[in-house]
Amino acid sequence: MMEAVTSMEAVTPQQIRDCVREFWEAFTKRSQNKFQELYSPTATCFAIDGRRGEPARLMWVRREREFFGPQSSVGAKVGVVSVQVLTPALAVASYPFHFSIIRVLPNGSRVEVDVPYGRATQVFLRNGEGKLLIIHEHLSSAEPATPKELPKADSQW
């Protein structure tokens, strides 16, 4: 858990690394509320398979539907997180990651996707209450990921 800080305290690289860890922990545990709390509602997000950016509010709805349901799963291994502190309240984290998911598509089918060479750039801003929030996120893959269709889940699960 991140320490409470005053809004006047300068951002440190370790605080940003802690935020990145919290991001992936919330994502892999599919903790919807915690996940949403990490973003500014006005953040712009580029998904790994997205062709254009989308507002955080739209991304939350899509990820909830595709990744946070009972038939979905998310796994991730994060590499070394590089941090650039730009101002006392603004920093950028960039890092590689390996991402494995089982996601539910809008048509109800399930697919498995493995992204071994993911790359992330997240921009964090300390808000007026002293909380670090993601204001911009860009996730991408060095290689195209090919979804593998899974058999229909048993309705008893």
pLDDT of residue 154: 54
Question: By residue range, what is the domain housing residue 102?
Answer: 13-149
Tell how strand 132-141 and strand 39-46 pair up: parallel
Whether residue 154 is contained in a domain is answered as no
| Residue 18: HSE in the Cβ half-sphere, 13 Å Cα cutoff | 11
Instruction: Return the bridge partners of 84, or none.
Output: 92
Whether residue 5 is contained in a domain is answered as no
Structure tokens at 12: 């440190």
Q: Where residue 57 falls among pLDDT bands split at 50, 70, 90?
A: confident
Instruction: Evaluate if residue 126 carries a pLDDT over 60.
Output: yes
Residue appearing with tokens 């060479």: 117
pLDDT of residue 5: 46
Whether residue 8 is contained in a domain is answered as no
Q: Where residue 6 falls among pLDDT bands split at 50, 70, 90?
A: very low
For 1-156, strand residue ranges (E) read: 39-46, 54-55, 73-78, 82-87, 90-104, 110-126, 132-141, 148-149
Instruction: Evaluate if residue 146 carries a pLDDT over 90.
Output: no
Whether residue 44 is contained in a domain is answered as yes
Whether residue 38 is contained in a domain is answered as yes
Q: Which CATH number does the domain housing residue 85 bear?
A: 3.10.450.50
- Round to whole Å and give the CA distance between 79 and 124: 18
Q: How many domains does the chain have?
A: 1
pLDDT for 66-124, tens place per residue?
778 888 889 999 999 999 999 999 999 999 999 999 987 778 788 999 999 999 999 99
Contact 28, 76 (CB under 8 A): yes
